[in-house]
Structure 1
Amino acid sequence: MGLISYNRAFIPKFSSITSPLTDLLPKGNSEKVIWPSECEKSLLHIQKILTEDPILIIPNLKDQFIIRIDASDYGIGAVPLQERHGVLMPCRFASRKFLTQ
């Protein structure tokens, strides 16, 4: 998860996509885990995103930002956008999975 998480700024809805994978992380024990098909789909989806668009732009701090935010019962995400040649382009992606109690 560390290497995948390093690239989280390039992956929209990162926390939602990786949720099945993070749910498998050990919680203080070293028991073997079962790799369900949901985790395989999540991993393949991440690999696909990392090898395709969208292209992130370097933000121009003199230009206006448009921030898009989305949330669910499981996490929150945001993307700062700036207009380039009449098209809104992402500067980065941010997302977090909510902690379960």
Structure 2
Amino acid sequence: MKDYAKIRSHQKSKRPPNNIEWSVECTIAFERLKTALTQAPILRAPNFNEPFILETDACDYGLGAVLTQEYDNKKFVIAYASRTQTTAERNYFPIEKEDV
């Protein structure tokens, strides 16, 4: 799911032992997740005879990657991956975060 870690970051910070205080941001994130889960992703099956393109990105709170391939000069998504960073990973330099 595209941007899963980013959307979910508001809710993950609410896990115990933190006090649970459901905010407007949590409600918005929850609604976005429900919508995303009910829509079929537009993914294409990989063609193992063609090269893959891996694009990565990182910010202060999360990591993401998109695996794509080109068909007829257009990029098509094969897979998405994302997650929040661990406490240790938040201390990495920006260029190191994209290699995690």
Shorter-chain TM-score tier: 0.7 to 0.9
The two structures have a TM-score, normalised by structure 1, of 0.74
**Matched residues in 2 for 1:16 and 1:32: separation?**
21
Q: Larger relative contact order (C-alpha < 8 A, sep ≥ 6)?
A: 1
Go from structure 1 to structure 2 and tell me whether the alpha carbon gap of 1:16 and 1:93 turns closer, same or farther (over 3 Å shift): same
Counterpart AA for 1:64: P
Question: Structure 2: which 5+ residue stretches go unaligned?
Answer: 89-100
Q: CA RMSD in A?
A: 2.0
Aligned counterpart, 2:5: 15
Q: Could you tell me which amino acid in structure 1 is paired with residue 82 of structure 2? A: S
Identity %: 33
TM-score, with structure 2 as normaliser: 0.75
Which residues in structure 2 correspond to 1:1-101 (within 5 Å)?
11-27=1-17, 33-52=20-39, 54-100=41-87
Q: Which residue of 2 aligns with 1:8?
A: none
Shift in Å, 1:100: 2.8
Structure 1: gaps spanning 5 or more residues: 1-10
Aligned residues: 88
